[in-house]
Amino acid sequence: MHYRAIVEPRNVRIYGIKEVKYRIAQNFRLLKIILVTLKQILGCLFVVMIYTIFRDSVGMIRNYLNDIDFDNVYLTPYFWHIDRKRENEGKIFLYPLSKAEMHANNLMTPMSPPTKAEIRSSWLPLAKFTFSLVTALFVVFVDFVFHKVIYNIDGTGFVADLVKEMLDFDYHSHRNMTVSLDECIYNPVSPDWPYAGKYIFFPLGIMFLLQVIFGYVIKRITLFYVIGNIFRKRNKARIIHLYNKMLFVRTNGRKLARARIRFQVERRILQREEIRKKR
């Protein structure tokens, strides 16, 4: 038996120039919609980030004014000023504080290393910085890719030739005057890397240092110098409260130590008396 292959003619889809232009315009319009939507989303996220910063600031001020023990563990110069004044008056003073007292009451100086709580609280600024960094890298990457794609069109097809003609299009009309479209044609420009480094990556580096690495320093400066200078009476009241608290701990500790010594002495005396009675 013999078989005969039947080859049918291929259905070739031929696009007209108007249809190709329409499709390209539709693609550019879709890309524009995507970029505008992305811009709106980034704007909303930026507003949310500003809101979180404002919320945290208001929360810190409320805690500072309503809770006298809120972050009230720092030994400031005014704290030692009160202590020197009591020493000059011949009263009980605290200087120097032992390491056991510092550790038991979680005391520290404004220049002390970050605590575990401050390290844990730095995760949110790190997330904000990561979001800003990813956004900046995405924008720079899109700029770089668009330049590479549009500037380096090496294809030989119909669409590639059409895009090249659209980019290289120039029209001259010789009448009473010559009108050129050089100023109307926007040729692809490579990304300005010095500009991106100066105005994008350098601020991001400063943001990383201030919000993530040294975020606790900014918080302490805000707590001591900004809020403390705005609410000076509250600042002094907090320091006096901390000093009285430590003075009570020191006095109570001495009383407990004397009571322990007295108890041990009485116990020794009783043991010796029992030994004598047995003899």
The whole-number average pLDDT for the span 74-80 is 89
| pLDDT tops 70 at residue 272 | yes
pLDDT, tens only, 96-146: 888 888 888 888 887 788 777 777 777 777 777 787 788 778 877 877 776
Q: How many helices (H) and strands (E) in the chain?
A: 11, 2
| Contact residues for 77 (Cβ-Cβ < 8 A; gap 6+) | none
> Other CB atoms closer than 10 Å to residue 48's CB: what's the count?
11
β-strand partners of 108:
74
Q: What is the pLDDT of residue 6?
A: 52
What is the domain partition of the chain in residue ranges? 1-65, 67-278
**Residue 96 contacts residue 90 (beta carbons within 8 Å):** no
The whole-number average pLDDT for the span 27-35 is 79
Percentage of the chain with pLDDT > 70? Answer: 72
pTM of the model: 0.57
Looking at residue 211, the DSSP 8-state letter turns out to be I
Q: What is the mean pLDDT of the chain?
A: 75
The span from the CA of 133 to the CA of 146, in Å, is: 20
Q: What is the pLDDT of residue 237?
A: 92
Q: What is the pLDDT of residue 194?
A: 81
SS3 74: strand
Burial class of 162 by CB neighbour count within 10 A (0 to 12, 13 to 18, 19+): middle
Q: What angle do CA 154, 160, 162 make, to 5 degrees?
A: 140
pLDDT, tens only, 222-258: 888 888 888 999 999 999 999 999 888 888 877 776 7
The whole-number average pLDDT for the span 66-81 is 89
Burial class of 229 by CB neighbour count within 10 A (0 to 12, 13 to 18, 19+): exposed
Q: Which pLDDT band, with edges at 50, 70 and 90, does 180 fall under?
A: low
3-state helix, strand, coil in the chain (%, to 5): 70, 0, 25
